[in-house]
Chains A and B, each alone.
Chain A
Amino acid sequence: MDNENKNNNNVPKDLLVPLERKEDTSDKISRPSRTFMQDARRTFFKNKLAMICVFILIIISVMSVVGPGMNDYGLDDQDLSRAKMPPHVPVLENISWLGFDGTLTDEFKGKDIEEATKNAVARYGNDADFIDIKELDKGDGSAKSAEVQATYHIYEAKDMGDQYFWLGTDTLGRDQWTRLWLGTRVSLIIALVAAAIDLVIGVAYGGVSAFYGGRVDNVMQRILEVLVGIPNLVVILLMILVLQPGILSIIIALTITGWIGMARIVRGEILKLKSQEFVLAARTLGTSNGKIISRHLVPNISGIIIINTMFTIPSAIFFEAFLSFIGLGLVPPEASLGTLINTGFENLRLYPYLLVFPAVLISVIMITFNLIGDGLRDAFDPKMHK
């Protein structure tokens, strides 16, 4: 790094020319100066991974708004005659390995091909006309030695070949595509609202505690110290039990302890800032407390607030899914990613597509939020600015 300073003694003489006298420009700023926020923005936009994640997240958010309207099925259009239909997508249905061709495929065993076939036909509603049988193993006559692969053309069997359930239907015949995006919408709303409330309470509490200091700070800190010891898992579970299950109660349960982390971080940062000269200067000039907080302190900690919020959102999404998964979340027919995953688990053996899509979606959302959070953390770190 210090290569420029290295003294190199074999410089040819003719390179050494007298320096022309010029006006000293060393203290002129050659490039337009950028504020910290501009620097941060630049670093963030240059982070390819984070930008890809932002892009994916925008697509997911847009889909959660327009997705349910893209077909004619509603959230709770139950129809048992079309229950448990596999995914069926126009055009893609012709590419069999994608799994969107509207068929159910499984392997069946028996003591010979005949019995295995019989098992398969029995499994798929005795509809032998619409079942393709492929022999995998002839077997030697002993039990379960023969194996066939059966492909059931359920759409043709039900005479619904012209209908397309893009992600299939669930056990009650509801369109999974509609429910998936409505569920994503619910999960995102819960996470965003919870994160926003956490942010407001946390910043206010931490800010007041640190800014006023003294006895106020002391009392507020003692309260925090007790609250921080209460595991949020316990609080969330208790709150959910008491409140009626629903979006609102999940948000309340998540926020009731969620703001504590933010409050502690904000307090620490404000404590550091408030003794600095620019605050003293503002105070000397007679700026009111409110203005010092809103104009001088909060902008200076905005980076940390944003980063912390970005990590709150995925954890809220996780907790919502977790609550729905253990049966404490939303009540049917409401859908969220958690309830969809829960339903998926119940049908994992026979209808894996019910689990795959919500599980992949929630994982993608969590990964993108975490990576964007990482990107923001780098962006707000002056050491990472280029």
Chain B
Amino acid sequence: MFRYILRRILYMAVTLFIIATVSFFLMKMLPGSPLKAEDKLSEEQREIVLEKYGLNDPVPVQYVRYIGGLVKGDLGISFTFDNTPVTKILMDRIGPSAQLGAQALLIGTFLGILLGLIAAISHNGALDYTSTILAVLGTSIPSFVFAGLLQRYLAVEWELFPVALWGTFEHTILPTVALMIFPMATAARFTRTEMIEVMGSNFITTARAKGVSEYGIIFKHGLRNALIPLVTVMGPMAVSLMTGTLVIEKIFAVPGIGEQFVTSVMVNDYPTIMGTTLLFAFLFVLIILVIDLLYVLIDPRIRLTGGES
């Protein structure tokens, strides 16, 4: 187990290193510098600005410094946004994003499991079809379309929730709902399939035969076993949350990392773009690692070979 974890962490480091290197050289290829054409600067002033960003040194030196900075958690200085260090920008903005992500993941998965469970119990009944239709819609309709509908009707038309911005808990409701649709639908579909399969297995018949209550069969014997494979779909869920953050924070004007990223793209602020990208990459790799480890812990039948995801 220990060797396995070590190996996985090594892979993780290699992956991150490759991403960082590639993004650094891509950044060098791109046009754009902290200097704007409209700034009328003297030669000395230009020198000072370039010196501040370390852009006077040859590229290899910059590269070594960049990687060195990364190890220490220094992502460089933003070209815009008052020349703040990128790390500070991200730290300031991670709160709302993390809150939205956590709320969406927890509530979404919980509701999804509930939905899938109801569907499985009333297999081929009306409730089953309803929840299957909901799940197909949830996995198919793009989250930004859904967010738009929520904003238009619940916020603008009926004024039940704040239209946008961040502040009270009410502000988080609509973005969370928009964000949680995909995890919910995925969890519902998965729970349903697994639950139907588990309910047909021999140990359920055994449990029935020995007179376990229906409640006990569904929750203690059925659901518990059906939920193990759910861990595998948490990777795609996490990815969908990250993708979702970008658009949904933009739509609801949430001051989070996603909104920051979209703004950075608009103003070509490369250090911030790269920093955000690296943060996404890091989170993604970390989540995949945690999921794999979790999977091994939950289900002892999984052998510890290779990096299955």
Query: Do residues B145 and A229 form an inter-chain contact, with CB atoms below 8 A?
Result: no
Assembled-state Cα–Cα distance A344/B136 (Å):
24
Query: Do residues B266 and A327 form an inter-chain contact, with CB atoms below 8 A?
Result: yes
Nearest chain A CB to B147 CB, angstrom units: 9
Query: Do residues A231 and B239 form an inter-chain contact, with CB atoms below 8 A?
Result: yes
Instruction: Pick the residue among A233, A363, A369, A370 that contacts B242 (CB under 8 A).
Output: A233
Q: Which of B123-169 contact A (CB under 8 A)?
A: 136-137, 139-142, 144-145, 148-149, 151-152, 156
Q: Is B284 an interface residue (CB 8 A)?
A: yes
Interface of A is mostly: helix
Query: Do residues B23 and A352 form an inter-chain contact, with CB atoms below 8 A?
Result: no
Nearest chain A CB to B19 CB, angstrom units: 6
Binds B, one of A85-93, A133-141, A236-244, A281-289: A236-244
- Using CB atoms, name the residue of chain B closest to A371: B136
Q: Which residues of A contact B309 (CB under 8 A)?
A: 228
Q: Is B280 an interface residue (CB 8 A)?
A: yes
Q: Is A314 an interface residue (CB 8 A)?
A: yes
Q: Is A330 an interface residue (CB 8 A)?
A: no
0/1 per residue, B225-269, Cβ < 8 Å to A?
000000000000001001100110011000000000110011000
Query: Do residues A238 and B280 form an inter-chain contact, with CB atoms below 8 A?
Result: no
Binds A, one of B9-17, B41-49, B94-102: B9-17
Instruction: Pick the residue among B14, B145, B151, B265 that contacts A363 (CB under 8 A).
Output: B145
Q: Is A328 an interface residue (CB 8 A)?
A: yes
Q: Which residues of A contact B144 (CB under 8 A)?
A: 321-322, 325, 341, 345
- Taking each of A225, A229, A349, A359, which has the highest tally of chain B beta carbons within 10 Å of its own beta carbon? A229
Query: Do residues B307 and A228 form an inter-chain contact, with CB atoms below 8 A?
Result: yes
Nearest chain A CB to B184 CB, angstrom units: 16
Q: Is B297 an interface residue (CB 8 A)?
A: no
Query: Do residues B284 and A326 form an inter-chain contact, with CB atoms below 8 A?
Result: no
Q: Which residues of A contact B247 (CB under 8 A)?
A: 322, 325-326
Query: Do residues A241 and B30 form an inter-chain contact, with CB atoms below 8 A?
Result: yes
Query: Do residues B26 and A241 form an inter-chain contact, with CB atoms below 8 A?
Result: yes
Given contacts A225-B307, A362-B145, contact A233 B280 (CB under 8 A): yes
Assembled-state Cα–Cα distance A226/B280 (Å):
16
Q: Which residues of B contact A19 (CB under 8 A)?
A: none
Q: Which residues of B contact A238 (CB under 8 A)?
A: 22-23, 26, 277
Q: Is B285 an interface residue (CB 8 A)?
A: yes
Instruction: Pick the residue among A231, A325, A369 that contacts B280 (CB under 8 A).
Output: A231
Query: Do residues B148 and A234 form an inter-chain contact, with CB atoms below 8 A?
Result: no
0/1 per residue, B3-33, Cβ < 8 Å to A?
0000000011011001100110010011000
Given contacts A241-B26, A359-B145, A367-B136, contact A234 B281 (CB under 8 A): yes
Instruction: Pick the residue among A229, A325, A344 that contacts B285 (CB under 8 A).
Output: A229
Instruction: Pick the residue among B148, B243, B281 that contacts A359 (CB under 8 A).
Output: B148
Q: Which of A322-369 contact B (CB under 8 A)?
A: 322, 325-328, 341, 344-345, 348-349, 352, 355, 359, 362-363, 366-367, 369
Q: Which residues of B contact A328 (CB under 8 A)?
A: 265
Q: Which residues of B contact A327 (CB under 8 A)?
A: 262, 265-266
Q: Is B113 an interface residue (CB 8 A)?
A: no
Q: Which residues of B contact A367 (CB under 8 A)?
A: 136-137, 140-141
Q: Is B288 an interface residue (CB 8 A)?
A: yes
Assembled-state Cα–Cα distance A225/B14 (Å):
10
Given contacts A226-B11, A226-B18, A348-B148, contact A241 B284 (CB under 8 A): no
- Using CB atoms, name the residue of chain B closest to A222: B11
Q: Is A318 an interface residue (CB 8 A)?
A: yes
Q: Is A29 an interface residue (CB 8 A)?
A: no
Q: Is A230 an interface residue (CB 8 A)?
A: yes
Nearest chain A CB to B281 CB, angstrom units: 5
Q: Which residues of B contact A322 (CB under 8 A)?
A: 142, 144, 243, 246-247
Q: Is B178 an interface residue (CB 8 A)?
A: no
- Taking each of A241, A327, A370, which has the highest tally of chain B beta carbons within 10 Å of its own beta carbon? A241
0/1 per residue, A238-258, Cβ < 8 Å to B?
100110000000000000000
Query: Do residues A241 and B273 form an inter-chain contact, with CB atoms below 8 A?
Result: yes
Nearest chain B CB to A68 CB, angstrom units: 23
Q: Which residues of A contact B11 (CB under 8 A)?
A: 225-226, 229
- Using CB atoms, name the residue of chain A closest to B7: A225
Assembled-state Cα–Cα distance A11/B253 (Å):
79
Given contacts A321-B142, A341-B145, A352-B152, contact A242 B29 (CB under 8 A): yes
Given contacts A326-B246, A348-B148, contact A233 B239 (CB under 8 A): yes
Q: Which residues of A contact B19 (CB under 8 A)?
A: 230, 234
Assembled-state Cα–Cα distance A36/B149 (Å):
44
Q: Is B60 an interface residue (CB 8 A)?
A: no
Nearest chain B CB to A145 CB, angstrom units: 16
Q: Which residues of A contact B250 (CB under 8 A)?
A: 325-326
Nearest chain A CB to B175 CB, angstrom units: 15
Query: Do residues B139 and A370 form an inter-chain contact, with CB atoms below 8 A?
Result: yes
Q: Is B58 an interface residue (CB 8 A)?
A: no
0/1 per residue, B261-297, Cβ < 8 Å to A?
1100110000001000100110011001000000000
22 contacts between A and B (CB under 8 A): A221-B306, A225-B307, A228-B307, A228-B309, A233-B242, A233-B280, A234-B281, A241-B30, A242-B26, A314-B140, A318-B142, A321-B144, A326-B246, A326-B247, A327-B265, A327-B266, A341-B144, A345-B144, A362-B142, A363-B140, A367-B140, A371-B136
Give the 8 A-B residue pairs with the shortest CB-CB distance, closest first. A229-B15, A231-B284, A366-B140, A367-B140, A359-B145, A363-B141, A234-B281, A326-B262
Other contacts beyond A233-B284, A234-B19, A234-B284: 19, CB < 8 A: A225-B11, A226-B15, A229-B285, A230-B15, A231-B285, A233-B239, A234-B280, A238-B22, A314-B140, A321-B144, A326-B247, A327-B262, A328-B265, A348-B148, A348-B151, A348-B152, A359-B149, A363-B141, A374-B136
